[in-house]
Structure 1
Amino acid sequence: MSIEEQIILITGASGFVATQVVRLFLQRGYRVRGTVRSEQTAEKVRSIFPEYKEKLSFAIVQDIAQPGAFDEAVKGVQGIIHTASPFQFRVEDNERDLLQPAIRGTRSLLEATQHHAPQVKRVVLTSSFAAINHLRKGYWPEHTYTEADWNPDTYEEARTADGPTAYCASKTLAEKAAWEFVETEKPNFTLATICPPMIYGPVEQPVASMDRLNESAADVYRFMNGSLTEIPATGFPAWVDVRDVAEAHLRAYEAEQAAANERFFVVAGNFFYDEVCEVLRGVEGVDKAKVPVGKTQERPKVYGVSNEKVRSRLGMEFYSLEASIRDTAESLLKLEKKLKQ
């Protein structure tokens, strides 16, 4: 089947990462069916891609954690990219708001694919560095993270943990659930998981207000809007650009070794917040007086990150931190202006 005939299901199509994934698959020539929670959201996503209206369709999935949530959405598609999973640190109930949606949503999609879409040969799942990172080890400067590492937090620990710990556990347990499904059910499809750390880059998804930004865009915006007077410690000093994350999804889907089950740590390198602020001060339109100033010599020693596998297996190259933060800032300024109109 040619690329132009293939329909790719992309879950959570209105998300920060998913918007870029949708764009890339459409540009490549695929037809895309996105899952969204409502027809209103579908309209917002459609408005981002007016030139692809003939190739972009939607399936409404109101709650990904519900049994059978994806049964209809998967029918007739040739490939699946699963990006839908909650990314938030401030929740009322870890189990209800993070753990169950992430784990059940993943399991529900794989079950639907197995039972209702036997033609699907490849599923790519958006996981996270959260599923790799050992939070209790902190900066762990003597260690270099690779695909072989796993976050050791358990479901029981995550139920009562702080927000970041529970979020990281939700990504870990969802990815583990996917691998367990593949191992026990032996479905027709192979699985690739994409594990990015902090994701920066242009904001192109639908955004209702500047206080409703995705977590990583908000992470940059707080250095631009005067809400910080000092540069805080860099909590997760590893990053990648959203366009590279999207590229990794496409390459993992199309890879020659797509017959294999693979895990990919998609990371550009280490970074620190003072570097982010340095770039922001050079972006036209950013009020330099609002960008906090800090001492660069106070950077701590931190863990290493290896992107050797994605470079060698997927042929990936990466945006520079400067380009990524500049493009993030410019997109935020543009969004700010648009929302004020």
Structure 2
Amino acid sequence: MAPTVLVTGASGFVAGHVLDKFLAKGYNVRGTVRSEKTAANVRKMFPEYPEQLSFAIVPDMAAPGAFDEAVKGVDGIIHTASPFILDAKDVQKDLYDPAVQGTTSILEAAQKHAPTVSRVVVTSSFASVLDPNQGTRPGYTYTEADWNPVIGDAAAKDPVLAYLASKAMAEKAAFDYVEKNKPTFTVTTLLPPMVYGPVRHHVDSVKSLNTSSTDILRLFNGSETTVPTTSFWGFVDVRDLADAHVLAFETPEAAGQRYLTTTGNYSYQQVVDIIRREFPELQATTPEGEAGAPLPPVYRIDNSKAKKELGIKFTPLEKTIVDTVKSLRALKE
């Protein structure tokens, strides 16, 4: 009998690709969603897997015991559900609680109700590695040994800092839980920067797109008349990140490890250069900026551990952006 993995936040951008990869490999997948309507929308995206895909309704992942029923009988957990909000009004309620409590809640549920779980893979973020006080940090290379030091109250007054902090706090909570409670399962965390690529999850219209897809959409739909300042200088293709989840679950040596999952550096200027070159019909709505400008001196992100230990081959920026633009143009307004 094929193993069963639980994928939290199954209706999300990253989760859509994670579902795709696990289902294609023959796993049974149980996805958590907030409502029956959302479950129906996700099911419609995967009509070829009617027997392998099931759902558990979890209306509030920060609620006590939220995942108690969802985890029963599963062999592994892929925890992708965490808010990506850069303008939170109440950082405690909108960011810290769902990120931290959502993570510890699912680990508690696994320990109490799912003795068959061997591995929990947590989708963390480069945000938990980056030191936001250091700016672009020319000459520095971030590795898995780095941790974001700006967390909790120190970040609460700035919504962007608070988002970065929420990722570090949730990841630390996961490793602290394992250290303190000694469960039979192990935890692995993945640390992607900006995540781009084609849309695989259900989207009603471009108005309901996830944050990182909207980040690319605005660069060619006329929203921007100049090339924006790049905020985070690293990216990964969502399909590579989905592969990383499968590999992190299947690789014994990944137990207790963190992995920076990134192709490498990029800039918005490089993105618009690709769009203008590959889609000439979009030149009128895509800002030109300083075409061909090289990357400025900024920090680097070391992806060698993920390549060596998980065997990931990362997709180049051009393919990621071309496939993203094609996917976004196919959506209805």
Please give the range of the TM-score, normalised by the shorter of the 2 chains.
Answer: over 0.9
Q: SS state of the match for residue 240, structure 1?
A: strand
CA separation in 2, counterparts of 1:27 and 1:95? Answer: 38
The equivalent residue for 1:277 is 272
2:5/2:28 contact within 8 Å kept = yes
Q: SS state of the match for residue 277, structure 2?
A: coil
The equivalent residue for 2:50 is 53
Alignment match of 1:157 (pick from 154, 162, 180)? 154
Q: Once the two structures are superposed, what CA deviation does each residue of 1:227-266 show, in whole Å capped at 9, x if it has no partner?
A: 11111211101011000000001001001325x3111110
5 Å-filtered alignment, 1:207-246, equals: 207-246=203-242
The equivalent residue for 2:60 is 63
TM superposition shift of 1:285: 7.8
The amino acid across from 1:167 in the alignment is Y
1:224/1:286 contact within 8 Å kept = no
5 Å-filtered alignment, 1:172-321, equals: 172-258=168-254, 260-284=255-279, 287-295=282-290, 296-297=292-293, 299-321=295-317
1:197/1:238 contact within 8 Å kept = yes
CA separation in 1, counterparts of 2:294 and 2:238? Answer: 28
CA separation in 1, counterparts of 2:51 and 2:281? Answer: 38
1:108 corresponds to 2:105: yes
Aligned length: 332
CA separation in 2, counterparts of 1:88 and 1:304? Answer: 24
TM superposition shift of 1:286: 5.0
The equivalent residue for 2:114 is 117
CA separation in 1, counterparts of 2:281 and 2:36? Answer: 35
1:154/1:169 contact within 8 Å kept = yes
TM superposition shift of 1:119: 1.4
The amino acid across from 1:289 in the alignment is A
**Percent of aligned pairs with the same residue?**
52
The amino acid across from 1:111 in the alignment is E
Alignment match of 1:42 (pick from 31, 39, 44)? 39
5 Å-filtered alignment, 1:10-89, equals: 10-89=7-86
CA separation in 2, counterparts of 1:203 and 1:301? Answer: 31
Structure 1 gaps of 5+ residues are none
1:97 corresponds to 2:94: yes
CA separation in 2, counterparts of 1:331 and 1:174? Answer: 31
Q: Once the two structures are superposed, what CA deviation does each residue of 1:108-142 show, in whole Å capped at 9, x if it has no partner?
A: 00000000001111110000000000111010012
The amino acid across from 1:214 in the alignment is N
1:285/1:333 contact within 8 Å kept = no
CA separation in 2, counterparts of 1:257 and 1:156? Answer: 35
2:269/2:293 contact within 8 Å kept = no
The amino acid across from 1:15 in the alignment is G
1:283/1:329 contact within 8 Å kept = no
Stretch of structure 1 that moved more, 100-109 or 290-299: 290-299
TM superposition shift of 1:191: 0.6
The equivalent residue for 1:334 is 330
CA separation in 2, counterparts of 1:286 and 1:111? Answer: 52
Q: Once the two structures are superposed, what CA deviation does each residue of 1:285-331 show, in whole Å capped at 9, x if it has no partner?
A: 85211000111437421001100100110111111100000000000
Q: 1:65 to 1:37 in 2, by over 3 A?
A: same
Q: SS state of the match for residue 229, structure 1?
A: coil
CA separation in 2, counterparts of 1:171 and 1:237? Answer: 17
CA separation in 1, counterparts of 2:281 and 2:201? Answer: 21
1:94/1:158 contact within 8 Å kept = no
